Every structure is written in structure tokens, then in C-alpha cells.
Amino acid sequence: MCGIIGCAGSEEVVPVLLDGLRRLEYRGYDSAGLAVLGEGGGIQILRAAGKLHNLQQLAYHQPLHGTVGLGHTRWATHGAPTEANAHPQTDAAGTVAVVHNGILENYAGLRQELIDAGIELKSDTDTELIAQLLGREQGGLISRVVAVLPRLHGQFAVVAVHRADPDQVVAFRQGPPLVLGLGEGENIVASDVTALLHRTRRVVFLENGDIADVRRGGVRVLSSGGDPVERPEETLDWDAGRVEKGGYRHFMLKEIFEQPDAIRNTVRSYLSSDRAAIRLEGSGFTSQELATVARVHLVACGTSWHAAQVGKFLIESLAGLATEVDYASEYRYRAPLLAGDVLVVGVTQSGETADTLAAMELARDGGARLGTICNVRGSSSWRLAADRMLTQAGPEVGVASTKAFTTQLVALLLLALGLRRARGLADSADAQLVTELQRLPLAVEETLRAERRVYQRGTEVLTARSSLYLGRGILYPIALEGALKLKELSYLHAEGYPAGEMKHGPIALVEDRFPVVAVALDTPTRGKLLGNLMEVKARGATVIAVAERDAEEVEQVADLVLPVPRVHPLLQPVVAVLPLQLLAYNVAVELGQDVDQPRNLAKSVTVE
């Protein structure tokens, strides 16, 4: 979850490191630090608790000079977010500096071993243990890493420097991602491609167990035993400008308004040449293989889990296949029933979510066919899966997901159509749905043009200490997502619930002016949902509803309607979530919260 960057180049490295950390801060912002190899053979270190700007101020007043170094922005695991626990961490003699993302599962045993050896530990981190172990070995940094790697148990991505070799950065991983950026006169290693795009698009993704020797003149990739290995070079098609705010107040707001293009690009990438049908064959999902699928399991976490819940409705209604949705963190421990005719799809924005990857590995080892829907080509889930669908959201910097979620919804619909076609169920209605899919970006644009004053009124209502979000059928997961967005951004409690279940407990919370948000688009169950809203209105609730502009029956019940255009019933989740994203955003801004970097959260959850 932490952000890591290391660079060996020909110019002053601190600006490169700080710029990379700025682009990685969404991965963690409890503390930050730098280590720079000086010309005199020493390691210069700066660390600061809190957000990156504290480190930037420190670096301005205490400048470091050198062309090789590493940086880190932390999401705290072992130890409080203090300067002492910030990375980089060093060994006792100050010969090795280390930054680290992940968790050592044998932390307690290694810590006691070092204490018994007379080592005085200066932090509570597991990262310091790695530095101390490397410092106790002999030889060059590569040979030290080869010796220490077998002793580290858990999930970790590590970048290190040694003062004896001022031209070298060494990186190694087991679990969390690391990517090499290949430049002219400089080479970089980072935990995410967002830190590299402004300097190079040529990248190499490291595999588990890889060790990278990074120098100004080139990179070598070695196995965990120190033998050379080949890893393919890729050229990214992401635009570096897309990780800048572009005049918007926050990344999240920019990314909300990028959704029409993100959806348009995702749909186009899977259209047939005549734009009349969906073709998944180029991604590995061949019709012959999809025809053998008897069951589908969707595994995901957080917002991606909500997308998977919508996916269950789509796959079962279009393809007639029984579909299960699991939290990936539970799937890996429940001994799921797997076979060769089960398609398991890991849904993950980053492609690096630790629990989702572990669930996918369990499915693969159990003999299931393995697929993924992700937003990063070359990510761990991309390389793990046999069948792959790439959402075209582009870089998403805001921690609370928006455009990655809506493109996941689109990808799941495309997968459902692919399964339907492979099972021989396609008919003339499919072509109409494909046409509606191509019109969807226009409906999204219309939704995002809603008058700001509408959301200002909603903001006034939702600043209450708690609220209830209701939905039914395919829109119930959207209620869950809306509640999650409000929690993530505003720190106000919100609970998503199936509307029909509301009277079986949650209605006890309802009192005068209690906010209830309903996803009330035109579905076969809208009449029942309106009945549920009458129940809470009778108890004094204030009702905000997402509904079509001409939905008079909703206007008669709701105190405020957030308008959306009419779309195909299977596309309703996409347009329905947009007002909830904007509502959560506006509430958070009104309360003065950090929209892009909510407390305690990180973008890419690479630890269990």
C-alpha cells in the first residue's frame, strides 16, 4: 500500500523522488522519507511524519545532493505514523537504507533474533529488520539480498541502497508490485506506473522473487538465487497528463468527469468491426471456452465487490449462469467448490489487491478457469489470469474509486454478453443493447451536467451523523456503493441496505430529519421501493432519491430528486451511481475533508 520510488540517474535525484512520491501519495500518507547516496560515500536521510508536504518543506531547508536515491510515502502497519517509524530505515552502522511496502509475517521472530544479537532497534517497523539483516551480511548488495530473501516471510516489496556502491539501487518483491521505468540516462523503480509516466513509458514489471539491479546505464533482473532472468519490456499507452488535476479542484472531481471517455473507450475496445456486436476473443475469452462454463465466481474487495454484485445480476439475467460473488478475503479461506467448468474472475482496479490475487491463485490451483477485469495492463492479476479484460479508465489517483468502478460495470456487462453469445442465447435484443451501450457516454454526460444547486441541497441534508441508502434488485449494490463513498470521503456513518429489508431492523434508526437516500430508477420493483420510502417518511425521514427527470411518482415522495436520464435497464447502475459520487464529494468538500486522500485509506491494498 505504501508508495516506493528509487532512481539512478545523472541529475539531482531529490526532485525526481519528490515528484514521484507526489504521484504515489494516494498509496499512503502517514509519513514520508528520502535516502540519497552522497558523493562522499555516505547515505543522507530525511524523514517526516504526516503528509508529503512536510517532507518537501524539510528537503527545502535541508537539501540533499546526489544522483542516486530512494523515497517512500507510508501507510502505517507496524508502528505508529511517527518520524522514527518513517522510511527509509537503516541498519545499525548506517551502511544500508531500505524502503518497504508490505508486512513481514515472521516479524516477531526476526525482531527477537536481532535483539538477542545485541542490535539496538530504533523503530517499531518490520522494515528496519530488513535493513538490519542486510547490514549483517557480507559482500555487495545483490549478494546480501540473495542471502536474506529466504528469511523473509510474508508480502513485501523492497528497494535498497548501500553506501559502498553509490551508483546502484536494488529492488526485490514477493507480493506487492514493483515496476522498472527505462529512461535515457536514468532508470527508475517504483510501486506504480503513475510515478514513471512523466519520465518514461517503457516499463518492465517484476515478478515474485525477482531482484532488480538498477543503475544509470541499465537494469538487470535476477532470480531470487541471483541468476539472470528475462522479463519483457512493455510500452504504456497512458498519457502522463492524465495524472494531473487539469484545472479541477481535486483529482476525484476530475475523474468523475472523465467517466464518459473512460466508458466510451472501454466499450470501443470490445466492439466488432461493424460495431454491432461484442467480441472478447482478443482478451482470451474465446467463445469455445466460454461455452464450457457452467458456473461463475466473481471475487473482489471494496468498491470492486459492489461492481461484482451488479455483475451477478447481469450474468445471471443475460447468460443464465449461476454466479456467486465473494469478498476475496473470505473466498480464500472458505474452500470454494471449484472445477474446470467454473470461471473465476478477479475484479480489481489496480490488479495488485493482495486478497484478490490470493483468491485468484486459490482458484487456479483448484483447477478453475481464471479471468480478471482490471485497469492496469501488465499488473499481477493481468499476468496471473488466462482470460483478461482491460478497463480503459486510465490512471485513477483519487483514493475513492469513481471511473474505475463505472468501467468495471461496463466490462461485466460485456462479459455477460460474451457468455450469452457463447451459450447460443443471443438474439436481436443483443444488438439493441450494444447500440445502447455506445450511447451510454452521452447519458453519463447528461447526468454530470446536473445543476450544482441540487447537490448543495443534498449536502445540507447529508451532514447528519448517519444516513441510510436503499435500493432494490440490480440497483441495490449501487446503494451500497453510495453509502461507501459517503463514509470514505466525509467520515459520516452511512449504511447501504436492500429496501425491502429496511423494516427488519434499520427502520429503528429513523427519526425526524433522518436522511434516507434511495436509488429509485424505473424498475419492476420501483412501486415497492416507493412504499418503503413512505414508511420512512411517516417517521420523519428526509428522502433524497436518484430517479429519472420525469418520474412524477418519485417526486411526490422524495424531498429532493437527483435527476438522471432514462437508459436501458441493464445500464441503470452506471448512471445511478454518478449522483451518489457527486453527493459524497460535495458533502466532503463542505465538511473540509481531504477528498483525494481520506484518512486511514490507501488506493492499492497490497497487504492482507
CA-to-CA dists, residue 227 to 147, 149, 213, angstroms: 13, 14, 12
pLDDT value at residue 29:
73
Active-site residue, 603 included? yes
Query: 2, 7, 301, 374: which is the annotated catalytic residue?
Result: 2
Pairwise CA distance, residues 62 & 55, whole Å: 10
Extended beta strands in 334-464, E state: 342-348, 369-374, 387-390
Closest residue by Cα to residue 434 from 420, 446, 423:
420
Contact (Cβ atoms closer than 8 angstroms) between residue 216 and residue 181: no
What are the residues facing 44 on neighbouring strands? 36
Print the SS3 string covering 570-595. HHHHHHHHHHHHHHHHHHHHHCCCCC
Pairwise CA distance, residues 260 & 243, whole Å: 17
Which residues, including other chains, have CB under 8 Å from residue 284's CB and lie 6 or more apart?
Answer: 371, 385, 386, 387, 388
Helix (H, G, I), strand (E, B) or coil at 541: coil
Pairwise CA distance, residues 557 & 537, whole Å: 8
Extended beta strands in 376-415, E state: 387-390
pLDDT value at residue 607:
53
Query: 254, 312, 403, 603: which is the annotated catalytic residue?
Result: 603
Residue 228, φ and ψ in degrees, nearest 5:
-60, 140
Contact (Cβ atoms closer than 8 angstroms) between residue 27 and residue 603: yes
- Average pLDDT per block of 10 residues along the chain, 608 residues long: 88 91 79 86 88 88 92 80 87 93 89 93 91 94 95 92 94 91 93 86 92 95 94 78 70 92 92 85 83 97 97 97 96 92 96 92 96 90 92 87 96 96 92 94 91 77 87 96 95 92 84 92 93 89 92 92 95 97 93 86 60
Closest residue by Cα to residue 562 from 597, 515, 528:
515
pLDDT value at residue 238:
65
pLDDT value at residue 195:
86
Helix (H, G, I), strand (E, B) or coil at 542: strand
pLDDT value at residue 432:
92
pLDDT value at residue 565:
95
pLDDT value at residue 484:
96
Q: How many H-runs (helices) and E-runs (strands) does the chain carry?
A: 19, 24
417-426 as b/e: b if 16+ CB within 10 A: bbbbbbbeeb
pTM value is 0.76
Active-site residue, 301 included? no
Helix (H, G, I), strand (E, B) or coil at 13: helix
Which residues, including other chains, have CB under 8 Å from residue 390's CB and lie 6 or more apart?
Answer: 269, 283, 374, 375, 377, 382
Helices (H), 293-341: 302-319, 328-331
